[in-house]
Structure 1
Amino acid sequence: MDAGTGTTAAEAAVTVARLREGMDRGVLSFPLTAFTDGGELDIDRYRAYLETQLAAAPGAVFPACGTGEFFSLDEDEYRSVVTATVEAAGGRTPVVAGIGYGWAQAVRFARIAEEAGADAALVLPHYLVEAPQDGLVAQLEHIAARTRLPLIAYQRGQVAYTAASLRRIAELPGVIGLKDGHSDLDRLQRLTLAAPDGFLFFNGASTAEIQARAYATVGVPAYSSAVHAFAPEIAAAFFTALRTGDHARLDALLRGFYVPLVELRDRVPGYAVSLVKAAARLRGHPVGPVRAPLTDPGPDDLADLDTLLTAGLDLVGATR
């Protein structure tokens, strides 16, 4: 594999500035990938759905990540999804594409995303094995040396950085931030204190709004929103309430929508994605089913989701 060329600190700084501006403006959108009923990529339906996401003015858009079923896409499908996203964003909204698996395969996806015009890449947790801290750092070193895309590391599952490792990856010119999915606020506070000025942090917890206030107290106000994928009206209302300190509004949204959504999500493994896709279909977006190994919700869970969706939209004065 060719050594490639990494990004420069100056190039990375431009992307950091754009992302920081977006993070102050709105939630981070992780769009669903549209499939036909037979499970084939439906790029036309994806484009139509993506326009509704971009119309809600997210801070950035992250195609082909967890919610977008990166793990089920082949390289040609991935190229189509990222290219369509870059074209739709038109330079107005930063595009951060998901990459992952071992570093060699992650580089292949990074190069596709780079050719498609993405602004940065989110490095999803590597496949299967646990690794020592030196290995986690080396993983990012290998990727950063072989792509001009600035990188955001994602710690979740078997990936968790120590403060010492965070300092090491933050010294790489191509690594600009960290997305956290562990929700260990003690560890996260240590990481934010260890990071250099300008390093980006993102709340990547499942249904991140549940812990958004807690994350903000340790200096991590930006978050990804799966709810934005099907109800940007609810996501925007929560974001505004969080930024303005309207705690009564936050509590009402949490009690009436987000907590029940999490309880429904926890019924079946994989519902963090398949419930979101089902909710998008309930809103009239023909994004199709999830791909195996995920499964779509059954009739009882769909009925509960439909009721909950109506309740959430009623809370923010939106219609079906």
Structure 2
Amino acid sequence: MKLLERNAWKGVYPAATTQFAEDLSVDIGATRHVLDNLIRDGVHGLISLGTCGENNSLEADEKRAVLTAAVEVSAGRVPVISGVSEMTTARAVRFAQDAEALGVDGLMVLPAMVYVPTLDELVAHFTAVAQATRLPIMIYNNPTAYRVSVGMDALERLAELPNIVAVKESAPDTRRFTDLINAFGDRFVLMAGLDDVALEGLILGAEGWISGLTSAFPAESVALYDAFVAGDLPRALEIYRWFMPLLHLDAEHDLVQSIKLSEQIMGRGSERVRPPRLPLSGARRAEVEAMVRDAAARRPVGA
């Protein structure tokens, strides 16, 4: 078992995609290739089985196979964080324990899927998972996508659990970063989780960026973060303004299809998704294709 040091929760962590074969079975070889390329391109960590990893479209054994591949591919080069996104608390506990046994470095835990909990139920879910593992945990707050807001009242109670160490903040209101720091100081590491407010999040105190579009444009994502850390805000803004049309895709309901299509256009993966998702088509597909090709023609980093 490995424990992720607090100072490792920083930098660019792509929410990596899970790759599928033509028959929509999980393509472990292609998934390994995608992950290895991201590491080679300089990302600081990997999120496996997040939203873009289509966690809830995979069977239990498939999830474990993807995690095994991620841990093997990383081989200690970067931390591997597993999403924990289940319908019930009991399933989330079992999966967290299995992920720990498979050698991941940390967990990104979501509220139980579909059900909208009370405050007590929300806290009980996160508490049960945290108490079932020694791995460090990042709470994932995404009220727009998952209809549940992890508020200050919940975090106040969860702060008592020592292995809950980070919050992925995907609320579109960037005031949350300041409110969290004012309320909790440095108790939680904050990670920006919504691509089109990532730089704002970093400026307001986030220590890293969990990104969807990094899967298609890793060099630019890392360069944006590096410029910010170096204090070169003009360079960071230059990259961010170039990136913004694509970053907006991360805030849409078809973000997974858009990101995977972007990967395919950039020669980094396949656009195949599992139903109920379907690949983009018609005007929406043409729109995203045009955005990606325009961005690729004007890339501020690399070839």
- Partner Cα distance (1:58, 1:317) in 2: 15
**Would the alpha carbon gap of residues 296 and 244 (structure 1) be closer, same or farther in structure 2, given more than 3 Å must change?**
same
**Matching of residue 271 in structure 1 with residue 260 in structure 2:** no
Structure 2 counterpart of 1:295: 278
- Choose from 121, 144, 154 the match for 1:165: 154
Q: 1:24-64 CA distances to partner (integer Å, 9 max, x unpaired)?
A: xx311211100012211010111112110111222211111
Q: 1:142 aligns with which of 122, 128, 131?
A: 128
Please state if 1:211 is matched with 2:200: no
**Which residue in the other structure is 1:315 paired with?**
299
2:37 — aligned with what? Answer: 52
Q: How does 1:168-183 map to 2 (within 5 A)?
A: 168-183=157-172
Q: Aligned equivalents of 1:234 and 1:301: distance in 2?
A: 24
Instruction: Give the C-alpha shift of residue 196 in structure 1.
Output: 5.4
Q: Is the 8 A contact 1:230 1:279 kept in 2?
A: yes
Q: What is the root-mean-square deviation of aligned Cα atoms in Å?
A: 2.3
Partner SS state of residue 58, structure 1 = coil
Q: Which moved more, 1:281-290 or 1:94-103?
A: 281-290
- Per-residue deviation, 1:193: 2.4
What is the DSSP-based 3-state SS (H/G/I as helix, E as strand, rest coil) of the residue aligned with 1:223?
A: strand
What is the aligned partner in structure 2 of residue 61 from structure 1?
A: 46
Q: What is aligned with 1:111?
A: 97
Partner Cα distance (1:238, 1:271) in 2? 24
CA distance in 2, matches of 1:19, 1:167: 23
Correspondences of 1:230-245 after superposition (within 5 Å): 230-245=216-231
Contact 2:213 2:250 in 1 (8 A): no
Specify the alignment match of 1:124 in structure 2.
110
How far apart, CA to CA, are the structure 1 residues paired with 2:46 and 2:295? 23
Q: State the secondary structure of the residue aligned to 2:238.
A: helix
Deviation at 1:18, TM superposition (A): 5.0
For residues 310 and 17 of structure 1, the distance between their equivalents in structure 2, rounded to whole angstroms, comes to: 38
Change (3 A) 1:232 1:263: closer
Q: What is the rounded CA distance, in whole Å, between the counterparts of 2:43 and 2:301 in structure 1?
A: 20
Letter aligned with residue 56 of structure 1: D
> Aligned in 2, Cα 1:263/1:189: closer, same or farther, shift over 3 Å?
closer
* Deviation of 1:184 (Å): 2.6
**Amino acid in structure 1 at the alignment position of 2:18:** T
Aligned counterpart, 2:75: 90
AA aligned opposite 2:34:
Y
Contact (CA 8 Å) 2:213, 2:246: kept in 1 or not?
no
User: Which of 174, 185, 189 is the equivalent residue of 1:185?
Assistant: 174
Between the aligned partners of 2:76 and 2:249, the Cα distance in structure 1 is: 37
Provide the TM-score with structure 2 as the length reference. 0.89
Where does residue 3 of structure 1 map in the other structure? Answer: none
Deviation at 1:220, TM superposition (A): 1.5
Q: CA deviation at 1:236?
A: 2.0
Deviates more, 1:94-103 or 1:163-172: 163-172
Shift of 1:169: 0.6
Q: What is the alpha-carbon distance in structure 2 between the residues aligned to residue 242 and residue 273 of structure 1?
A: 27
**Secondary structure of the corresponding residue to residue 48 of structure 2:** coil
Residues 1:252 and 2:241 are matched in the alignment:
no
AA matched with 2:14: S
Shift of 1:299: 4.9
For residue 153 of structure 1, the aligned residue among 130, 139, 151 is 139
Q: Identify the residue that residue 72 of structure 1 maps to in structure 2.
A: 57
Equivalent pairs, count: 298
Residues 57, 274 of structure 2: 8 Å contact kept:
yes
DSSP-derived class of the 1:62 partner: strand
- In structure 1, the gaps of 5 or more residues are 1-6
- 2:264 equivalent in structure 1: 281
In the superposition, relative to structure 1, how do residues 88 and 30 fare at CA in structure 2: closer, same or farther (>3 Å)?
same
SS at match of 1:284: coil
Give me the identity figure in percent. 28
User: Relative to structure 2, which stretch is displaced further, 214-223 or 47-56?
Assistant: 214-223
Please list every run of 5 or more consecutive structure 2 residues that lacks an aligned counterpart in the other structure: none
Please, which of 100, 103, 106 is the counterpart of residue 85 of structure 2? Answer: 100
Residue identity in the other structure for 1:53? L
Q: Give the TM-score of the pair, scaled to structure 1.
A: 0.84
